[in-house]
Amino acid sequence: MPTPGNQGEPRGGQLRLHLPRVGGPHELVRFAPEDFDGWLHFAEPSVQEVVRGYLEKVLGLDEPARNRWVAHWSLKALEALEEHLAHEPETGRYCHGDALTLADVCVASQVIAAKDYGRCDVSGVPVVMRIYGECMQLDAFARSHPQRQPGAPADLRA
């Protein structure tokens, strides 16, 4: 859907969130913090199960090797995001300006995977971490953090 201020016209160089929509163009979707309330989840278990199954059954990796693999690629993803966001003129308080987009949910999710579960050193991605910090100041993000959920492992609880 077109967003206020762009009248549906794409602008070059924009970090965009493209959501599939049958029969029409994909447009940037912006959210207000309250839009996330009640449905914000950082990790989809079925995706984790597929990746874990592949690493374990196809590649034959044991748990320590799987953890190293996840940490390595989680950090690589953050480094790629950093490179883009650090040079994107429209990077603002969030990934794309000062309004939340689904891109911010994705960044927060990636940071949690890398920092909290992969135990990665995220000091080399300051723009990503600044955006993550902005997101985590919002109640919907803070309450939805996996470490704050019932049943979270004690050693990972916030």
81-113 pLDDT, tens digit each = 999 999 999 999 999 999 888 889 889 989 988
What pLDDT does residue 111 have? 93
What pLDDT does residue 33 have? 55
Whole-angstrom CA distances from 19 to 14, 24, 69, 119 are 15, 10, 29, 31
Q: Is 145 helix (H, G, I), strand (E, B) or coil?
A: coil
- Number of separate domains in the chain: 1
Q: What are phi and psi of 30, to 5 degrees?
A: -110, 150
Domain contains 2: no
Return the exposure string of 26-41: e unless at least 16 CB atoms fall within 10 Å of the residue's CB, then b. Answer: ebbbbbeeeebeeebe
Domain contains 14: no
Query: Which residue, among 87, 55, 86, has the nearest Cα to 73 in the 3D structure?
Result: 55
Domain contains 142: yes
d(CA 70, CA 68): 5
pLDDT category of residue 142 using cuts at 50, 70 and 90: confident
Domain hosting 57: range is: 42-156
What pLDDT does residue 156 have? 64
What pLDDT does residue 53 have? 86
What pLDDT does residue 147 have? 80
Domain contains 33: no
**pLDDT at residue 117 greater than cutoff 60:** yes
What pLDDT does residue 152 have? 74
Domain contains 59: yes
Q: What is the pLDDT of residues 13-70, one digit of tens each?
A: 333 333 443 334 444 445 555 555 544 444 445 566 788 888 899 999 998 998 898 8
Q: Over range 111-118, report the average pLDDT.
A: 86
What pLDDT does residue 158 have? 54
**pLDDT at residue 138 greater than cutoff 50:** yes
Residue 152 has which token pair? 């979270």
Angle at CA 36, nearest 5°, toward 33 and 41? 135
Domain contains 1: no
Q: For position 116, which CATH number holds?
A: 1.20.1050.10
Domain contains 141: yes
